[in-house]
Amino acid sequence: MPGKFLTQALAQCEHIQALIKQSAEELSSAHSAVEQGLANVDPPQGVKSALDKNEAATKNLHVACERLRALGQALQTEIRDRTMVDHQLAAAVEQEEGSRHAALHDHLTGLPNRVLFKDRLEHALAHAKRHQWILAVMFVDLDNFKSINDTYGHQAGDAVLQTVAVRLAHNTRSDDTVSRYGGDEFLCLVTSLHEPEDAERIAANILDAIRAPCDIRVADVIVSVRLEASIGISIFPKDGASAAALITRADEAMYGAKERQSGVAFAFEEDSIHIRSVSHRKPMRKAVLSQYATRVFDVESSTDNQPLSGESRQKTRAH
């Protein structure tokens, strides 16, 4: 750290300056004492020469002390300037980090927003494809949020969303990502699953947490509201290989859970329900078509074996 080095250098400079100043003062004092002792006698030539050298050395020490003092002042100025620059740089970095955090997080709940969620999902998919891992995307939607907003106001609704955000974060793992997707919708990215049932257990815990009583302040009154949610789950690679596909499939599964009031639904289960529904309709459609063909055949094969006109056939089909 340059600032720390300069501070240490300044301290050493001040210490050396103090030693030099003390030595100069001691030499000057000794010189004065010797001169006083020889004031009434003619000193030998060697002693006089030594006194002259002593005086010159004392002056040099004073000069060195002044130069060190000037150097110390320059170091102090440099340290002050460096400290100011460091503070400005730290403030700029903090502001940049704050702006980046605001751009990637929901301002109300502090959760990652859909941009950051998609980025983390893309990275998780890359790892999952490389290591053949299973991961899940959960689409969480509050069932009765509109009624809370309409009854108690938007501030109460915001408090509910903040509470739900905390509960979602507490009921997922540290490696997972919880995001506010928008409105009363949340997304959860659950990684490194051993089997799809692991996601179902996490979803069940989330539902239990959301359904716990929620106390919110409305004006000066504490109101307890009961929350319900529907969760749709898509599984990689079963339900899709891209971030967009997994989010879409989880959204579709969530609506299936909401329609059936089942709480949780898997995307592949929705496919099965759709297939079963279509399979159930196919025999009925075949019977209708068969009945339709028989009626046309019977009419066209009349007792006189005379074909009907096109208009007559159309009326018969329309019957």
Domain ranges in the chain?
2-102, 114-273
304 classed as catalytic:
no
Distance CA 206, CA 162 (A): 15
Highest mean pLDDT out of 9-18, 82-91, 199-208: 199-208
More confident of the two residues 104 and 312: 104
Q: Kindly report whether the global pTM for this prediction surpasses the value 0.85.
A: no
Catalytic entry in 184, 198, 271, 304 = 184
Instruction: Give tens-digit pLDDT for 265-284.
Output: 999 887 665 444 433 334 43
Region 117-139: what's the mean pLDDT? Answer: 96
pLDDT of residue 59: 75
Region 83-106: what's the mean pLDDT? Answer: 83
pLDDT of residue 129: 95
Region 251-260: what's the mean pLDDT? Answer: 95
User: What angle in degrees, to the nearest 10, is found between the helix axes of 154-170 and 196-211?
Assistant: 140
Please give the full DSSP string across the chain, using - where no structure is assigned: -HHHHHHHHHHHHHHHHHHHHHHHHHHHHHHHHHHHHTTTS---HHHHHHHHHHHHHHHHHHHHHHHHHHHHHHHHHHHHHHHHHHHHHHHHHHHHHHHHHHHHB-TTT--B-HHHHHHHHHHHHHHHHHHT-EEEEEEEEESSHHHHHHHH-HHHHHHHHHHHHHHHHHTS-TTSEEEEEETTEEEEEEEEESSHHHHHHHHHHHHHHHHS-EEEEETTEEEEE---EEEEEEEETTS-SSHHHHHHHHHHHHHHHHHHT-SEEEHHHHHHHHHHHHHHHHHHHHHHHHHHHHHHHHHHS-TT-PPPPHHHHHHHHH-
- Which option is the CATH number for 114-273: 3.40.50.2000, 3.20.20.70, 1.10.260.40, 3.30.70.270? 3.30.70.270
